[in-house]
Amino acid sequence: MSDATPVVLKPGDQAPIFVLTSDRGEDVDLAGFQGKKNVVLYFYPKDSTPGCTIEACDFRDASAQFDQKDTVILGVSRDSLKSHQNFVNKQTLNFPLLSDPDTVACKAYGVFKLKKNYGREYMGIERSTFVIGKDGKIIEAIYGVKVKGHVDQVLNAINA
């Protein structure tokens, strides 16, 4: 693997296409939404951690507003399908969580990065969200997401 310049997506870019398995055991093909739905694709570090739980529950609680905007929500992390199923059941999430153990989608969207925590360096997911239009183009790309107020930020991007 080369250490080429990291991917940084921006509005107007074509959204990278991928197929990942959801907590429901179904393959989700991002291309399948083109021409039909907008997509909120959010990447998060780990199931059942405090920030990730708040973010997932905020999206869950706003799902009716996203439905009104003809928009589906997809969460992505490297966690296993079993971990996703437990997280979905515990938090009664009403949207699919996609498992990306090989970081295929994470790398395509430029969210798999070197992170530092308590002096330790490791590769992990930078919390990031992409709003993708029905045409398959990125409407909004938000790297380094702060959880508080994030869902409103995403809804505003769809409304713009």
| Long-range contacts (CB closer than 8 Å, 24 or more residues apart) made by 111-116 | 111/43, 111/143, 113/6
Question: Alpha carbon of 82 to those of 28, 105, 113: distances in Å?
Answer: 17, 19, 24
CA 86/CA 34 separation, integer angstroms: 30
Residue 81 to residue 90: CA distance in whole angstroms = 14
- What six digits make up the tokens of 44? 């998060």
Task: Tell me how far the alpha carbon of residue 152 is from its chain's centroid.
Answer: 15
**Which residue numbers are catalytic?**
52
